[in-house]
Structure formats: structure tokens, C-alpha cells
Amino acid sequence: MDNIKKEIVSGVFFTALAKYANLVISLVVTAVLARLLAPDQFGVVAIATVAIAFLNLIADFGLSPAVIQHKELDRKALGYLFSLSVYIAITLSVLFFLSAEIIETWYAQPQLKPICQLLALSLFFSGITVVPNALFFRDRLFKSIALRSLIVQIIGGGLSIIAAFKGMGVYALILNPIFSSLLIFIISYLKYPLKFSLRFPFQPLRPLFSYSIFQFLFNIINYFSRNSDTLLIGKYLGMVPLGFYDKSYRLMSLPLQNITQVITPVIHPILSQKGKDNGYLYEANLKLTSLLSLIGFPLSVFLFYSAEELILLFFGPQWGLAIPSFKILSLTVGIQLVLSSSGSIFQTAGDTKSLFICGLFSAVLNVAGILFGVFYAKSIDAVAMCLLVTFSVNFVQAYWLMYRVVFRRSMVGFFNSLWRPIFFALVLGLIFHLVVGYHLSDNLVFRLMLKTAIYLFSVILMIWFGGYRNLLFAFLRK
């Protein structure tokens, strides 16, 4: 148990170090690019990025969590998986390159064809990195992962800024993903030089597919659930509204991703050492829920009341129309943050089928909400509001299924771990509401600093008096 505790402390520390350094770098890069490029250019790249994200999921084929879960795989079996991933990557890259003209015609954006063709390189390198990258997590090399991520972010972000200043326009936005995927492959393959085989048997790999197939289907379903807003807004509302929506969603996602990607990548590789001990997973989930809800729900309130300052300071006054949708989306941060750990619990329990069911339910619900916002309300703010509702319903459904099927226990403990952080967030919202009622200052920096100070001071009080001081490591104790 002590070794597991040390590993998770080390994993969280190094992952956090890289993620928060990356957050600063990403904010700087985004702030610079937002002042040099127009909203419609971000909208065009958002469409191409969504297409790439979908094909990356196919390229993964659920192999990453399968490699992490099945620690008995030897070098020969890993070589077979690597060979399979190379063939998949080549096929998908060629198909994406050839379909670039179709995507361009569908969205009536001439720039989409060359952008998609160039991003086919990113797709190829990402695809052939699936297995070597999974081995980093299986072997719990969190320090190396953190260092690799930091190096890639600095180089990719720097290239994008230089390209933007050189007048490359929209192409400055795709340099980062192309060079980042190339660098990650080089670093990963140097660490795990797996042998490529022109021919390989499928029989030794069949046990993995029974695990990975539902993970793969979940990833596909979750993709449509998460990206149909971008696809539909870009097609039916236009690239300018998409640019504003994409900017608000990405800004909301920055703190969300840089918290979830500190904790959740560590959970599955380490908890999987305990096997399918549902009692241990139950206790771990309760403590994870307490920790993530304590972080997420107050953060939602802070982002909601700081929306104007964050948007205008980071992106400039030309992005003011992104403020309303950002405020609405910020209210989903707490829900998404807690929900982010559920996948690791399903994976560790070996129940990827339930994970797929959750993804299917979420996809149907989210897409229905997005369709309503796009075709009935015809507004990015309405889309954001619909997502707030659908994320909330999906949150309840996912945990209901987890406690019914995986844990076979009452949800009383789950709700007990939620009520205090939610109550604290409501109190914090009341404080912000009262403060915002006064004319503080026209200085955006001063207002943001004041709201940040109130938020941090309130969180410290909650941690100190709410009994959360040792919560970060508490889930490691039985």
C-alpha cells in the first residue's frame, strides 16, 4: 500500500507540474494567436481538428487502455499491436487526405482542403504512437511523460507564434499539432522501439479485443457526443459563430483538462494493480468524488463570475460575443470534472460494456440538445444551455449505472460526498453575486485579481474547516 501511495503521489506531482506549465504556455500561445488571427480562422481549424480527433479515436481502437490493463503482454505481442497500429494509421491518413476535398465542399471553406491534407501527417504520427505511448502509462513513467509533454508544448507553441508573426495566417494554428505528434512519436519510439512485422497473427491478440472493443465503441460514441456541436454550428450557423463558440469552449476546457489530466491518467495504471477489487474501487471512487467535486463546483462559480475578465484579457475586446456561452459552459465544469474519473473506475473493474452504455446514453442526449440549440434556437448560447442540461442528466445516469452494476450498492455514500462541495459553491456564488453588485473598477486586471483572491481564500477556508486537508491521499487508504 505504501508503494502505491508513493507512486500516485509521484504520478500526480509530475503530471501536475507538466500540465500546469503547459496551461501557462497554452494560455500565452492562445492569447497571442487570438490577437493575430480572426475568429473565422479559428472556426475553420476547429472543423479540421474535430475530424482529426475522430480519426485518432479509430486509430487508437481501444488499444491504449487494453495495453495498460493487460500487463502480461510480452514484447512479441506488443510488436504485433504496434504493427496493427501502423497499418491502421496509414489507412486512415490516406483516407483523410483523399477526403479533404469532400470536407471542403461540405463546409464551403476553400482553406479546409489544404489544412486537412497537412493534418493527415499529424494523424499518421499519432496513430503509430498509440502502443509506445500506452507503455509509458503502463510502466507508470509519469516523470518522463511530464517532461515529454512540456518539451512538445514549448516547441509546438513557439512554432505557432513565429508562424503567425510571419503572416502564415490560419496555417499557424496547425503547426503545433503536426510537430507535436511527430515529436511525441520520436520520443516514445526511442524509449520503446517495438518491432514492426509485415505479417502478424491475430490469434494471440483476441483476448485484448474483447476488452478493447467496448472501449473503442465508447470512444467513438463519446466523440460524437463531444464534437457534434462544433460540426453542426460550423455547418448551419457559420464559421464566425463557431469561432466564438470554439474559443469559449476551449477556454472553459483549459482548467478542466489541466485538472482531469493530472489525476485521471494516474488512476487507471495504478488502481489496475489492485485487480478487480470492487470494495477498494468503491472507496477510491468516493474519495475521488469528494476531491474532484471540491475542486470543480467552486471553480465553476469562479469561472462564471469572471467570464468577462477572462475573455477580454486573454483574447481581446473583439471576442466579447464569446462571454455569454462561456458563462453557461463554465457551469458544467464541476459536473464534467467529477464525471471524468468514472471511466477509470469502469476500466479498472473490467466493465467497458457499461462504459459504452454510458457513452451511448450521453451521445443521444447531447446530440439531441445540440440539434435543439442549432435548429430551433439557432444560437451558440442556446447550444451551451442545452449542454448544461444534458451533462447534468448524463452525470446522474453514469453514476447510477456504476453503483448499480459495478458496486451493487446504494448511492447514499456518493451523494454524501457531493453535498458539502455543492453547498460551498452555492455560498461562494452568493458572495460573488454581492461583490459584483458593487462597481468595483473598470480595470479588468484588478477585477480578476480581486475575484481570484476571494475564490482562493474561500477554497482555503473550505479545505481547512471542511475536513478536506488530507483528501488528496485519502482514497489510497482502505
Q: Report how far Cα 169 is from the mean position of its chain's Cα atoms.
A: 26
Residue 212 lies in a domain: no
**Residue range 444-451: mean pLDDT, rounded:** 87
Q: What is the mean pLDDT of residues 92-96?
A: 90
Looking at residue 472, what is its pLDDT? 46
Residues 207-240: tens digit of each pLDDT: 666 666 666 677 777 777 777 888 788 878 887 8
Cα–Cα distance, 445 to 456 (Å, whole number): 16
Same domain membership, residue 146 and residue 57: yes
Q: What is the mean pLDDT of residues 153-181?
A: 81
Confidence (pLDDT) at 65? 67
Q: Is the pLDDT of residue 394 over 80?
A: yes
Record the pTM. 0.67
Residue (of 119, 161, 148, 116) closest to 26 by Cα position: 161
Q: Are residues 244 and 195 in the same domain?
A: no
Same-domain check for residues 16 and 163: yes
C-alpha 290/C-alpha 468 separation (Å) is 9
Angle between the 172-191 and 39-60 helix axes, to the nearest 10 degrees? 30
Same-domain status, 278 and 170 = no
Same-domain check for residues 370 and 474: yes
The alpha carbon of 265 is separated from its chain's Cα centroid by a whole number of angstroms, namely 11
pLDDT, mean over the chain: 79
Percent residues over pLDDT 90 in the chain? 15
pLDDT score, position 319: 86
pLDDT tens-digit map of 249-294: 888 887 777 676 666 666 656 666 665 677 778 888 888 888 888 8
Lowest mean pLDDT among 21-25, 178-182, 397-401: 21-25
- The Cα 41–Cα 57 span in angstroms is 25
Same domain, 193 and 286: no
**Res 426 pLDDT > 90:** yes
* Per-residue pLDDT, 274: 61
pLDDT of residue 78: 78
Q: Are residues 156 and 28 part of one domain?
A: yes
* Spatial contact of 147 and 128, defined as CB atoms under 8 Å apart: no
Q: Compare 439 and 133 and report the one with higher pLDDT.
A: 133
Determine which of 5-14, 78-87, 156-165, 262-271 has the lowest per-residue pLDDT on average: 5-14
191 and 281 fall within a common domain? no
Residue 223 included in any domain = no
Q: What is the pLDDT of residues 99-110, one digit of tens each?
A: 888 888 887 777
Q: Give pLDDT, residue 464.
A: 75
Lowest mean pLDDT among 73-77, 110-114, 209-213, 420-424: 209-213
Residue ending a domain, choose from 151, 180, 201: 201
How many domains does one find in the chain?
Answer: 2
User: Does residue 193 lie in a domain region?
Assistant: yes
On whether both 335 and 194 belong to a single domain, the answer is no
Listing DSSP states for 27-67 in one string gives HHHHHHHHHHS-HHHHHHHHHHHHHHHHHHHHHHTTHHHHH
Domain residue limits at 306: 231-478
Contact 253, 326 (CB under 8 A): no
CA–CA separation, 171 and 53 (whole Å)? 18
Per-residue confidence at 299, pLDDT binned at 50, 70, 90? very high
Length of the chain (residues): 478
Residue with more model confidence, 466 or 301:
301
Residue corresponding to grid cell 447531447:
366
Residue 209 lies in a domain: no
Which segments within 63-120 are labelled E, that is strand? Answer: none
What angle in degrees, to the nearest 10, is found between the helix axes of 2-36 and 307-315? 60
pLDDT tens-digit readout, 169-206: 778 787 888 888 888 888 888 888 887 777 766 665 66
The yes-or-no verdict on residue 339 having pLDDT over 50 is yes
Q: What average pLDDT score do residues 92-100 get?
A: 89
Cβ neighbourhood burial of 477 (10 Å; 0-12, 13-18, 19+): exposed
Out of 162, 184, 201, a domain closes at 201
pLDDT of residue 478: 41
How many other C-beta atoms are found inside a 10 Å radius of the C-beta of residue 167? 9
Q: CA-CA distance, 52 to 122, in Å (whole number)? A: 8
Per-residue pLDDT, averaged over 305-311, amounts to: 91
- Is 375 within a domain? yes
- Are 29 and 67 contained in the same domain? yes
Specify if 26 maps to a domain.
yes
Residue 196: φ, ψ to 5° = -90, 135
- Within this chain, do residues 183 and 236 fall inside the same structural domain, yes or no? no
Residue 57 and residue 140 in one domain: yes
